[in-house]
Amino acid sequence: METQTKTSAKDFFINLGAIVALGVFVGNLISLLFTVINKAYPTTTSYSYSYYGSYSISWPVASLIIVFPIYILLMWLMEREYTKEPEKRYVGIRKWLTYITLFLAGFATTGDLITVLYYFIDGQEMTTGFIMKVLSVLVVALAVFFYYISDIMGKLNVMSRKVWTLVSLLIIAGVIVWGFSVLGSPRTQQLLKYDQQKVNHLQDINNQVTSFYSNKGFLPKTKEDMSGGDYYVSQVDPQTQKPYEYEKIDDTTYNLCAEFNKASDDKMSQTSPYVDTVMPYGGASAPWTHPAGKHCFNKTINPNMYSKPMPFR
């Protein structure tokens, strides 16, 4: 017969910590899966606005490596307390947090299935990436649901808990390995971030050039002609410490050059949970795709977009 036991501060924070760790763990696992799927199975769609981003798995991987052991530790501490005092299995905080977890897992599963049915009824294309995202959410949500429903029903023992832990650990390790195989090693990620920073700097210089043309009515001959502007623009490559190159070609055309570590993707993914469509790297109107090594972006000013400055009298 169940007996009610008063919840201590220790019980409260261990149970709360375990559920919070589970939420962080599941959220970052899904985030990691979606990021890898977006990269592995892109779909091109045209967009009218600019977007720049990168496929980064650094945060979800770091979170999984730290949070999952914390979750296992907290669950072990709870089981140790329950072995000493079995009546603690029925404390109010544990029941509330467990049922909240079941509710959220069931809600995620239902929402996942509704999304699939909506796409089918609406006649939308179910791409490989979309299906894999749906399956990722479905499998993770069902795993959480069945684990906690088994716990409530008292069907979990020491051996089954070890099996659940081992399977979870293998899944996490497999997803992390898959992520690095698709997106590259940490060193590759570092080089890609350098390249992203270089493109950002070149975009700033490009904005400075267009601002100069808008104010003066002609292109600067050198970068030094643009010094003393309204805002700071980095002129030096942060990796090589070499200055970025600006070259005026004619009255409306110029080059911006830098050295890149890796060839860029010509598509960068959105962050929408299910949509796996992508847009041009740097924006549809002004792409900044580049090969590895030194590359110059050829830019052209449209004089019709800028009014000529009034002459001084």
Same domain, 150 and 179: yes
The phi and psi torsions of 105 (rounded to 5 degrees) equal -65, -40
Which of 66, 57, 58, 76 has the alpha carbon at shortest distance from 24? 66
Which of 60, 274, 271, 27 has the alpha carbon at shortest distance from 141? 27
Q: Worst-scoring range by mean pLDDT, 2-6, 45-49, 147-151, 212-216?
A: 45-49
Give SS3 for 119: helix
- Residues 173-226: tens digit of each pLDDT: 999 999 888 877 888 888 888 999 999 999 999 988 988 888 888 899 988 888
In a domain, 28, yes or no: yes
Same domain, 133 and 106: yes
- 303-310 mean pLDDT: 68
- 261-275 mean pLDDT: 56
For the stretch 205-220, what's the b/e string if a residue is b when 16 or more beta carbons lie within 10 angstroms of its beta carbon? Answer: bbebbbbbbeeeebbb
pLDDT at 54 over 90: no
Same domain, 196 and 133: no
More confident residue, 308 or 244: 244
pLDDT at 146 over 90: yes
Same domain, 221 and 104: no
Residue type for position 80: R
**What does pLDDT average to over the chain?**
82
Which of 251, 202, 241, 250 has the alpha carbon at shortest distance from 223? 202
In a domain, 90, yes or no: yes
Nearest-angstrom CA–CA distance, 271 and 162:
35
Domain boundary among 131, 153, 184: 184
Same domain, 47 and 100: yes
- 282-307 mean pLDDT: 78
Q: Could you tell me how many helices (H) and strands (E) the chain has, helices first?
A: 6, 6
- Residues 212-227: tens digit of each pLDDT: 888 888 899 988 888 7
Reported confidence tier of residue 1, pLDDT bands at 50, 70, 90: very low
pLDDT at 161 over 80: yes
Same domain, 109 and 53: yes
The pLDDT of residue 6? 67
Alpha-carbon Rg for the chain in angstroms: 27
In a domain, 1, yes or no: no
Same domain, 174 and 227: no
Domain boundary among 155, 184, 213: 184
pLDDT at 273 over 60: no
Same domain, 156 and 36: yes
In a domain, 127, yes or no: yes
- 153-178 mean pLDDT: 90
Nearest-angstrom CA–CA distance, 189 and 281:
17
In a domain, 279, yes or no: yes
pLDDT at 20 over 50: yes
Same domain, 202 and 68: no
Which among 51-55, 119-123, 167-171, 189-193 has the top mean pLDDT? 167-171
Distance of CA 71 to the CA centre of its chain: 22
Domain boundary among 184, 199, 215: 184
pLDDT at 46 over 80: no
Same domain, 122 and 177: yes
Nearest-angstrom CA–CA distance, 122 and 116:
10
In a domain, 4, yes or no: no
pTM check: above 0.75: no
- 48-63 mean pLDDT: 63
In a domain, 197, yes or no: yes
Q: Worst-scoring range by mean pLDDT, 136-145, 150-159, 257-266, 270-279?
A: 270-279
The pLDDT of residue 80? 87
Q: Are 37 and 57 in contact (CB under 8 A)?
A: no
Burial classification of residue 252, based on how many CB atoms lie within 10 Å of its CB (0-12 exposed, 13-18 middle, 19 or more buried): middle
Same domain, 147 and 207: no
> What total number of domains does the chain contain?
2
Nearest-angstrom CA–CA distance, 39 and 144:
26
Task: State the residue range of the domain holding 228.
Answer: 187-305
Residue 76 CA: distances (Å) to CA of 72, 86, 161, 162: 6, 14, 10, 10
pLDDT at 83 over 70: yes
